[in-house]
Amino acid sequence: MKHITCIEDLRQLHKRRVPKAFFDYADRGSYSEDTLRANCDDLAQIKFRQRILVDVSKRDLATTILGEPASMPLVLAPVGLLGMQHGDGEILACRAAQAAGVPFTLSTMSICSIEDVAASVDKPFWFQLYVMKDRGFIKALIERAIAAKCSALVLTVDLQVLGQRHQDIKNGMTVPPEWTLSKIVDFASKPAWVAGVLRGKRRTFGNIVGHIKGTDDITELSQWTASQFDTTLTWKDVEWIRSIWPGKLVLKGILDVEDAEQAAKTGAHALVVSNHGGRQLDGAPSSIEALPEIVDAVGAQMEIMFDGGIRSGQDVMRALALGAKSCMIGRAYVYGLGAGGEAGVAKTFDIIRNELLITMGLCGVNTIAEIDDHVLAV
């Protein structure tokens, strides 16, 4: 991976190595993709203040996330179907995160189950929860996360209804999956990916299969899942989850100050300013546009995390400068995973770590705690 110098290089390699339907599933967004684009574009608009002749010989990315030490202010965001980007993708991404010294978040919609990942890694990981209509199943899922010693629960609150992603429909990433000749040809041209997925532990939703009656069949399972997103979800359900989950709770998917104020009242430890990577409400502001107001409103009461559009260490620095304590990355590591499995995710960390270190040096700061809006040009 010597010639891979940036996340875009990993993206190009991912595109070559993984079938189009799965690459597009990761890469694209909802409707016109305005919010997806704005996430990256608005970050790129933020300019740094170049400083000179400051001793920057002691730069250090170490920080804490939810009170635990982390080697840098990054978390791997929950991403569904990682095991379809690379066989055993969830396990490989979690191993890379733990080797890099940062948290990994396992999605409810993962291919490897909570237990598969727990049995394959040394340290605790975070678990992300989608609350479904079947509350018995959700309670059991939380109990499985407790049994697996997950160290935080990330409750995703921005997916009561599903934003349409045109490209998934065009590619036949529908429920149930649609097999076309072009898809078969595409898969056949990616033998390394096919071999990896066939070697992997599973090829379906690992957390759900077998736990719900009648969902051993992939088609029924997909239909059950699609019908389970709960439009009746309210703040009361957050209380219910708090009564079952004894550990640290993170609310993910907040973009509005009033919602952030409500979130602070729930006793959750952190919130993630996020628009689901431009995959839900198209036309919503970019995450970085929403961040400063939310930090002002509730930053003193809870830890503020950020995601949406991070493709470089410079982007991490921008979000920290506007008040985020740490950043989740989604696509940036999915590209690494598709490009090269565990080594590819490790490469994502190397790229972002080095970019952040250099950016800090050129802005004249040595520690993460020093980063605030004084590093930005006005």
Contact 96, 346 (CB under 8 A): yes
Q: ∠199-200-204 over CA atoms, to 5°?
A: 130
Q: How many CB atoms lie within 10 A of CB 140?
A: 13
Residue 80 lies near ligand FMN (rule: CB under 6 A): yes
Q: Which of 30, 35, 63, 128 lies at the binding interface for ligand FMN (CB under 6 A)?
A: 128
Token readout for 118 is 């727990």
Would you list the DSSP string of 321-359? HTT-SEEEESHHHHHHHHHHHHHHHHHHHHHHHHHHHHH
Contact positions with ligand FMN (CB under 6 A) in 145-174:
156
Interacting residue with ligand FMN among 23, 25, 245, 335 (CB under 6 A): 25
**Shortest-Cβ-distance residue relative to ligand FMN:** 330
225 touching ligand FMN, by CB under 6 A: no
Q: Measuring CA to CA, which residue among 151, 84, 79, 142 is closest to residue 121? A: 151
Q: Say if residue 169 is exposed, middle or buried (CB neighbours under 10 Å; 0-12, 13-18, 19+).
A: exposed
Nearer to ligand FMN, 7 or 321 (CB): 7
Rule CB under 6 A: choose which of 18, 72, 79, 270 binds ligand FMN: 79
Binding pattern for the stretch 26-45 against ligand FMN, x by CB under 6 A and - elsewhere? x------------x------
89 binds ligand FMN (CB under 6 A): no
Binding-site member from 299, 308, 338, 340 for ligand FMN (CB under 6 A): 308
Separation CA 220–CA 222 (nearest Å): 5
- Distance between CA 7 and CA 335 in Å, rounded? 8
- Whether 3 is catalytic is no
Q: Is 271 in the site for ligand FMN (CB under 6 A)?
A: no
Where in 172-211 is the site for ligand FMN (CB under 6 A)?
Answer: none
- Interface residues with ligand FMN (CB under 6 A) are 25-26, 39, 77-80, 107, 109, 128, 156, 252, 274, 276-277, 279, 307-310, 328-332, 334
The set of catalytic residues is: 276
